[in-house]
A = this chain, B = another copy of it.
Amino acid sequence: MADKRYRIGEFSKLVGLSAYTLRYYEDQGLILSQRDDNGVRYYVAEDIRWVGFILHLKGTGMQLNDLKRYVKLRAEGDTTIAERRQLLQRVKDNAEAEIAEQQMHLKVLGHKIDWYDGKTAHTIDDSESFHDYLQRFQD
């Protein structure tokens, strides 16, 4: 495996981030790239995995600031593992709380859709407001 080199255009398609964003992330310290003899960026397989992991973190709602802090800690070596773990745990707890809240809101939205269906099918009395209807599901 002669460690294939990907230039920014190819890498961009590979990871699904624009070249702009890749340079921006590099500026921000999230990504590193190597350079060939002409100063042109290139990336290797390892970088695909790293960007992939960053995208997992971003996908949980982790913000750039926290991501930067995480990357900084990582660069400081194994002594920061506990701190990194803690940071990720906080992000995880946060994300889970947000999902729980969203699901609660979705429940109401689902009831509203059902209510429309009931009205349309006349299986819900014309006089029953959505607010009254919702009361039926107080659990």
| Residue positions of A touching B, CB distance < 8 A | 49, 53, 55-61, 81-82, 84-85, 88-89, 91-92, 95-96, 99, 101-106, 108-110, 112-113, 116-117, 119-120, 130-131
Contacts and interface: CB of A to CB of B under 8 A. Distances in A.
A59 B130 CA distance: 18
A82 B120 contact: yes
A88 B109 contact: yes
Contact of A109 (B60, B81, B113): B60
A135 to B, nearest CB: 12
20 contacts: A56-B105, A57-B105, A57-B109, A59-B101, A59-B104, A60-B105, A81-B116, A81-B119, A82-B120, A84-B116, A85-B117, A88-B112, A88-B113, A88-B116, A92-B106, A92-B113, A95-B102, A95-B109, A96-B106, A99-B102
A53 B131 CA distance: 9
A139 to B, nearest CB: 16
A116 B87 CA distance: 12
Contact of A56 (B61, B88, B92, B108): B108
B116 A85 contact: yes
- Top 4 closest pairs, chain A to chain B, by CB: A59-B105, A85-B116, A56-B108, A60-B105
Nearest to A104: B59
Contact of A59 (B57, B102, B113): B102
